[in-house]
Amino acid sequence: MKTSNQQSNIQTVTKLNGLIAFWNFDHTGDDTWISQYDVKVQDRSYPLHLKRIGDTNGYALASWPYTDDHSKLMFDHDGPLGSAIRFNQGYIYGAVERQDFDGTLLDICGKRPFTIMAWVKFIDKRHMVAGIWDEGGWDRHEGRRQVALFAGLFRQKGVIAHISSTGSACYPQSTIDGAQYARCRAMDGQPFENGQWIAMAMTFDPDKGEVSAYLNGTMTPHYVNDPVIQDIYPYQDKQAVNPFNFPLPIYSPRAFVLKYNGYNLKEDEISEHRLLVDLDNLSLTYAQDNLSPEHPDTFRILFDIRRNSASILDMPLEMDGIHGRSATLSTDTTVMVNDEIRTSLETRRDEQWVQVGTVVKRKIREGAPFTFGRALGLGTEAIDEGSHLFIDGVAVFNRIMKQAELNTLSFTKTRV
């Protein structure tokens, strides 16, 4: 039975404005957990199932078929919400299937402000806690990463708030080891130990272009040297990672950023060439981070979409590589799952166009599920990858929670 403090904590969360989803592992439907929500922002719950890597089925508590030590169901009732369940790497994790939230408020993408908060106790290995995050097997131009809470990455012992505009590698123009990973993340400067209940949170302010990470309601500023980012930008000093500068839109399977490779800042004075692809509006927009005066008529973009190796466009598109330049595809263009984008960057040399780097290939895929305790697409999909922890609850809001609110919601001073 829950204590009065635990019941009060749950009520505090459910009464907050802007609540998209709140799973406290106590509020159940007929066959699985369902989320609570603010009726002023939406009218639906999101069902959460138990899953295991290698098994495509989703299970409710009563039907969970695994009983080995790694996979058996374990609970902890001493947390701030009183109904924590153990998630253990790929042996047992939680998932809201994509078809149950695709296109809803839970599908966090674009320039939407949001807050994700989780009440957890780590047992052992740290990795993903909750969010929409498929690593894509470390291919630099694949993956379905949107946003997610993490801990334990980059030799850090604090909260990590990952966010992605590409869904894939953040900096494919770098050639050093580590550039295959997502590296756009806020990293809180306060470490925490295993075996204690903590509240972790992340917020995204699209107006400021900032992602922030919080431990127990407090954002501790943090600065690091990231070798991949330093491989691209001329930074000598440590750079701020809490908050973390993120001016781009969040990845969506239908609207995302592609980044080209084969160049570097020292030679080209440009640190990024990007193409924003919006398949719903059939638009393309080129952008570059140019640290010197503009280079007119120096670059161009080639773009095509193929289905079964044949182009679905009347003809491949060519676009001048001028910052802010846009182009539209024909209105009768219908882009489908498994179609493949192929695009390349070219530069003018000796009166000829020469390809820069490799052709970027990206297959159109459905979005990733919202998972708990486990990211997908971890290379070989080894089952013993992911977090080992108890999760007492996860809440998602459609607004930026103030630090005072997050501090109150941490419940760390509550004795249950």
Spell out the SS3 assignment of 259-273. ECCCCCHHHHCEEEE
Q: ∠ at Cα 188 (116, 94), nearest 5°?
A: 35
Residue 112 near residue 250, CB atoms below 8 Å: yes
Residue 153 near residue 127, CB atoms below 8 Å: yes
What pLDDT score was predicted for residue 266? Answer: 79
Q: Tell me which residue of 68, 63, 29 sits closest to 47, measured CA to CA.
A: 29
Q: How many CB atoms lie within 10 A of CB 402?
A: 12
- 413 pLDDT band, cuts 50/70/90, is low
What pLDDT score was predicted for residue 291? Answer: 63
The partner residues of 396 in beta bridges, in order of sequence, read 21, 116
CATH number of 4-249+367-409: 2.60.120.200
CATH number of 255-363: 2.60.40
Strand residues in 216-309 grouped as ranges (E):
222-224, 239-242, 244-245, 255-259, 270-278, 283-290, 299-307
Residue 323 half-sphere exposure, CB side, CA atoms within 13 Å? 12
Containing 408, the helix (H) or strand (E) segment is helix 403-409
DSSP characters over 151-188: ES-TT--SEEEEE-SSSS-S-TT--STTTTS---EEE-
Residue 169 has pLDDT above 90, yes or no: yes
| Alpha carbon distance 245, 240 (integer Å) | 8
| Residue intervals in the chain for CATH 2.60.120.200 | 4-249+367-409
Supply 125's token pair.
Answer: 């290995």
Residue 98 near residue 132, CB atoms below 8 Å: no
| Residue intervals in the chain for CATH 2.60.40 | 255-363
- 414 pLDDT band, cuts 50/70/90, is very low
What pLDDT score was predicted for residue 290? Answer: 78
pLDDT tens digits for range 88-99 = 999 999 999 999
Residue 98 near residue 110, CB atoms below 8 Å: no
Residue 145 near residue 182, CB atoms below 8 Å: yes
pLDDT tens digits for range 233-279 = 888 899 999 999 999 999 999 999 999 999 988 787 888 999 999 99
